[in-house]
Amino acid sequence: MAERGENCLIVVAGHATAVTNSSIAGIIDEAARGEYLVDIFGASGGVAGLANGKMMDLGAQKRKVVEGLRRTPGSILSGQHGAPGETSLGDAGATVEFLRANGIGTLFLLGGLPAIALLRWFLDAAEKSNYPLVALGVPLSADNDVDAGDHTPGYGSAARFAAGAARDAGRAAASGAQPLLVLELPGEASGWVAAAAALARDASNPAPHAVLVPERAVNLETLTDELRRAYQKWGYAVAVTTRTRKPLTASRCTAMRCARCSAKRLVSRDAVTSRAA
C-alpha cells in the first residue's frame, strides 16, 4: 500500500453552527502542534469544492486570524448538506487521486448525520484505490443526533435558543390573544433540542406544558387532556414538537400533526383561539 500523505484537509459537510469556526480553529492548533502533519488545508465550498480542487491553506493563516475564528460564529469554509449520492463528488477514483496528489493522508469532516455517511464514502473510496486515509468525523449536529459522539459542539447554542423560544412562546400565549401555541423545533430523529425547551420553565413560567420527542410515542387523547388541564389552570397552553416525519402514535400521526390535532380538539371543546407557530 502507498504511503499516507503528511498533510490534512478540513471539509465542512452541512450547515454551519455557532461553533463551526471554533472547531476549525481547534483542528488547526492541534494539527500544528503535533509531529505527524505538515500542511493544513481547507476545502472551499465543502465537498463540492473538493471535487473542483478548491482548497485554501489554513496553516498559513496568521495567529490573529485563527484566534479570531474561536469567537466568530459560522464557518470560514462553506459547506454542503446532503448524502453522498446528492453531492458533487464525482468519480471516487478521481477524488482519491486528488488527495494523493496533494499529499493528504488525514481528512477531518465536520457536520451532522450526512457527514458521517460521507466519512464512510471517503474511506471506501480510499480502500478501493489502495490509498491509506485516516478520516475523522467532527460532530457539528445542533440536533445532537450523531450516535457515539463524545461531544457535540453547537448543541449548547441550540438548546439555549430552544429554551428562549419556549419562554417567549409562553409569554405570547399568556397575553391572551392566542392562548394555545405549538412550537416546532429541529429534530428529525432525536428530541434533544425539543427537550431543552423545558429549561424555560420556572416559578413564573410553566411553559412548555407538553414536549413531544421522536423517541417517545404520543397518545392523542392524553396529550389533549394534558393541554386542557394546563389551559384551565393557567389560561394558556404551549406544546413543543419536533419536525420529525416519524409517526408518534398508533394512528400514524407525526409530532406536528399530533399537536395540531390536539389544538383543534381544544378549540372545538373549549372555544379557544389557537395558532401553530
- Domain segments of the chain: what residues? 7-140, 156-276
pLDDT band at 32 (very low <50, low <70, confident <90, very high): confident
What is the reported pLDDT for 114? Answer: 75
Whole-model pTM: value is 0.66
| Residues 6 or more apart in contact with residue 234 via CB below 8 angstroms | 174, 206, 209
| Burial (Cβ within 10 Å: 0-12, 13-18, ≥19) of residue 70 | middle
DSSP 202: B
Classify domain 156-276 at the CATH class level.
Answer: alpha beta
- Find the mean pLDDT for residues 181-187: 88
* Domain 7-140 and domain 156-276 have a common topology: yes
Query: Right CATH number for 7-140 from 3.40.50.2300, 3.40.50.720, 3.40.50.450, 3.40.605.10?
Result: 3.40.50.450
- Find the mean pLDDT for residues 78-88: 51
In 3D, which of 12, 50, 7 has the Cα closest to residue 31? 7
Instruction: Give how far Cα 236 sits from Cα of 19, 173, 183, 198, 213, Å.
Output: 36, 6, 14, 16, 21
d(CA 68, CA 70): 5
d(CA 222, CA 81): 37
- Find the mean pLDDT for residues 11-17: 81
Greater model confidence, 149 or 47: 47
7 pLDDT more than 70: yes
pLDDT band at 257 (very low <50, low <70, confident <90, very high): low
What is the reported pLDDT for 214? Answer: 85
Among 40-44, 81-85, 114-118, the minimum mean pLDDT is found in 81-85
Instruction: Give how far Cα 58 sits from Cα of 34, 35, 36, 132, 255, Å.
Output: 15, 17, 16, 23, 43
Highest mean pLDDT among 18-22, 70-74, 230-234, 252-256: 230-234
